[in-house]
Structure 1
Amino acid sequence: MLWYCRFHWHQNTRADDVRRRVLEQHEAGTNKPERIRGWYNLAGGGSGFLLVDTDDPHELTELLQPYMDLVSWDVHAIYEVPYADMIDQIRQRLEPTA
């Protein structure tokens, strides 16, 4: 399962706080880079999102919890819809039934 994990830094969070925490969690082995499909920062800093691939919501929670004092999380389960497949599905649903 793929998870969209949007983050926004808390008001008093500094860039160095986040840098240190990421490095600490990396060295502790808790960031699970094999599960992170993508890490995106929004222009201007202070927010962004991760795409995390895991079927276990407990594992997702373990990955995100060490950052909760620095950032707030907004987490949603998502799924990929290949564009060509979506167009085919739309056409099938809009075709009149015989």
Structure 2
Amino acid sequence: MLWYCRFKWHSHTTAEALRRRILEQDAAGTNHPERIRGWYDLAGGGAGFMLIETDEPRELTDMLQPYMDLLTWDVHAVAEQPSYEAIVESFRQKAAEGAD
């Protein structure tokens, strides 16, 4: 499953504390970089989102829990769509068939 994981720093979180935690979890082997499909920070800092792929929701929880004292998480399962062209073509076919 692919997960959209939006994060926002808690008001007490510092860049130093977050960097230290990331390094600690990396050393512990719990960050699983092979599962991270994308990591994006919002302009201005303090928030962003990650795209993480796991086989089970529990695996995602295990990855995110070590950061919950520093970040809030808003997590949603997402489905990747085919190319734009493929989507538009499927809409054309449905329109031609009169389907909803």
Scaled by the length of structure 2, the TM-score of the pair is 0.92
4+ aligned runs moved over 4 Å, structure 1: none
Q: Paired residue for 2:94?
A: 93
Q: Paired residue for 2:35?
A: 35
Which runs of no fewer than 5 residues in structure 1 stay unpaired?
none
Equivalent runs, 1:13-92 vs 2, <5 Å: 13-81=13-81, 82-92=83-93
Aligned-residue CA RMSD (Å): 0.9
Scaled by the length of structure 1, the TM-score of the pair is 0.94
Which runs of no fewer than 5 residues in structure 2 stay unpaired?
none
- Between 1:65-74 and 1:75-84, the stretch displaced more is 75-84
**CA distance, structure 1, for counterparts of residue 85 and residue 62 of structure 2:** 36
1:18 Cα deviation after fit: 0.5
SS of residue paired to 1:75: strand
